[in-house]
Chain A
């Protein structure tokens, strides 16, 4: 049973790291600030959630489990708030969003 849990945990940690890696690549490849935020969104939603879930499986029924649960909850509340604040600031302060190559060249 505990071996199965360990396997599942390793799998979740692996997928978390994979999504964070892809998100980072996206951060470098995307053309402007808004599209970059979409890429960063992968790392801090699924990437972080998968890693925390993976750690929760290893933690077992201890106080650490509760703490990880609280971290996950706060992450899901704070991420969109911070992301929205950043997007709003970008709308107010930066030129209009990238909408394809042709417009970029004008």
Chain B
């Protein structure tokens, strides 16, 4: 019930933020569409801990700046390699251990890997993630396991 209320109020806030209208008629239409979305989601059975990973939010706020910094660093590295005439790349496929306990945690880890230029997650297995790395350095970076540890911290809140 609480999750239903959260989804309903979030969709209303989103509707107002996107439309900017406060006219009573339009506002009531917004309420109606927010209620419809909530009802349909409820019937689909997607309002659960996986659909609303609220526990991840405080951790995400701490994790995002670090990820952004890593992304910029990796981006500059890949951009530098592209502009070299010799194209210094050593593509490899590695397996990185994923010790996250929950599904949202593992998804966050796989998405972080893909979001960082130079590494793409190919397959998510039970306890590890298959990764295509552009260079041996980016593979070694991931192997050091710092990103995985940070996602584990994110998970525990």
Which residue on B lies nearest to A33, using beta carbons?
B132
Expressed in whole angstroms, the minimum distance between the Cβ of A52 and any Cβ of chain B is 13
- Pick from A34, A76, A100: contact of B90, CB under 8 Å: A100
Given contacts A19-B75, A22-B83, A25-B83, contact A46 B91 (CB under 8 A): no
B91's contact among A25, A45, A88, A98, by CB below 8 Å, is which? A98
Given A46-B71, A67-B18, A97-B132, A88 and B122 contact (CB-CB distance below 8 Å)? yes
Q: Which parts of A20-61 form the interface with B (CB within 8 Å)?
A: 22-23, 25-26, 29-30, 32, 34-35, 37-39, 41-42, 45-46
Instruction: Tell whether, in the assembled complex, residue A41 and residue B117 are in contact, meaning their CB atoms are under 8 Å apart.
Output: yes
Query: Considering the chains assembled together, what is the distance between the CA atoms of A77 and B110 in angstroms?
Result: 11
A62 → chain B closest CB, angstroms: 9
Give chain B interface residues in 66-121, CB to chain A under 8 Å. Answer: 71-72, 75, 78-79, 82-83, 87, 89-93, 110-115, 117-121
Given A39-B82, A87-B121, A80 contacting B90 (CB threshold 8 A): no
Cβ of A11 under 8 Å from chain B: no
Chain A residues near B114: list those with CB within 8 A. 41, 79-80, 83-84, 87
Q: Is A5 an interface residue (CB 8 A)?
A: no
Is A22 within 8 A of B79, CB to CB?
Answer: yes
B120:A37 contact, CB within 8 angstroms = yes
Q: How far is the CA of A90 from the CA of B96 in the complex (A)?
A: 20
Docked-complex contact A34 and B83, CB < 8 angstroms:
no
Which residues from 55 to 98 on chain A have a C-beta closer than 8 Å to any C-beta of chain B? Answer: 63, 66-67, 70, 76-77, 79-81, 83-84, 87-88, 91, 97-98
Minimum CB–CB distance from B77 to chain A (whole Å) comes to 10
Report Cα–Cα, A29/B132, bound state, in Å: 18
Is residue A106 within 8 Å, beta carbon to beta carbon, of the partner chain?
no
Classify chain A's interface size.
35 or more
Contact indicator per residue, chain B 41-75, by CB within 8 Å of chain A (1) or not (0): 00000000000000000000000000000011001
B82–A87 CB distance below 8 A? no
The 8 closest A-B pairs by CB, nearest first: A80-B114, A26-B82, A80-B111, A41-B117, A46-B75, A38-B134, A22-B79, A63-B20
Interface residues of B (CB under 8 A from A): 14, 17-18, 20, 71-72, 75, 78-79, 82-83, 87, 89-93, 110-115, 117-123, 132, 134
A-B contact pairs, 17 of them (CB 8 A): A19-B79, A22-B82, A34-B120, A37-B120, A38-B119, A38-B134, A41-B114, A42-B75, A45-B115, A46-B71, A46-B72, A76-B115, A83-B120, A84-B114, A84-B122, A87-B114, A87-B120
